[in-house]
Amino acid sequence: MVGGFPMFRLIASALAVTALALPASAWGKTGHRIVGEVATTYLSEPAATAIEDVLGPEGLAEASDWPDYMRSNPDSFWRSEANPWHYVTIPEGQTYADVTPPANGDAITALANFRATVLDPAASLEERQLALRFIVHLVGDLQQPLHAGNGTDRGGNWVDVVFFEEMSNLHEVWDEKLIQYEELSYTEWANWLVQKITPADLGEWGAATPGQWADESAAIRDTIYPESEILSYDYAYMARPILNQQMSKGGVRLAAYLNAMFEPVPETE
Residue 269 within any structural domain of the chain: no
The average confidence (pLDDT) of the chain is: 90
pLDDT (tens digit per residue) in 209-220: 999 999 999 999
Q: CATH no. for residue 179?
A: 1.10.575.10
Distances (CA, A) of 107 to 46, 138, 142: 26, 6, 7
pLDDT of residue 261: 97
CA distance 9 to 48: 49
Q: How many of the other CB atoms lie within 10 Å of CB of 59?
A: 18
Residue 97 within any structural domain of the chain: yes
Dihedrals φ, ψ of 74, to 5°? -70, -10
pLDDT (tens digit per residue) in 56-65: 999 999 999 9
Residue 60 within any structural domain of the chain: yes
pLDDT (tens digit per residue) in 237-249: 999 999 999 999 9
pLDDT of residue 27: 78
Q: What is the pTM of this model?
A: 0.89
Residue 268 within any structural domain of the chain: no
Contact status, residue 173 vs residue 144, Cβ threshold 8 Å: no
Name which of 88, 101, 187, 173 is nearest 139 in CA terms: 88
Is the pLDDT score of 10 beyond 50? no
E strand intervals along the chain: 88-89, 148-149, 160-163, 166-169, 230-231
Q: Which domain holds residue 190?
A: 7-16+25-261
Residue 266 within any structural domain of the chain: no
CA distance 140 to 210: 11
Number of domains in the chain: 1
Is the pLDDT score of 8 beyond 70? no
Residue 2 within any structural domain of the chain: no
Is the pLDDT score of 16 beyond 90? no
List, as one string, the DSSP characters of 194-215: HHH--HHHHHHHHH--HHHHHH
Name which of 161, 149, 176 is nearest 16 in CA terms: 161
With H, G, I as helix, E, B as strand and everything else as coil, classify residue 231. strand
Residue 132 within any structural domain of the chain: yes
Residue 1 within any structural domain of the chain: no
Distances (CA, A) of 194 to 39, 187, 201, 247: 9, 10, 11, 10
With H, G, I as helix, E, B as strand and everything else as coil, classify residue 161. strand
Element counts in the chain: helices (H) and strands (E):
14, 5
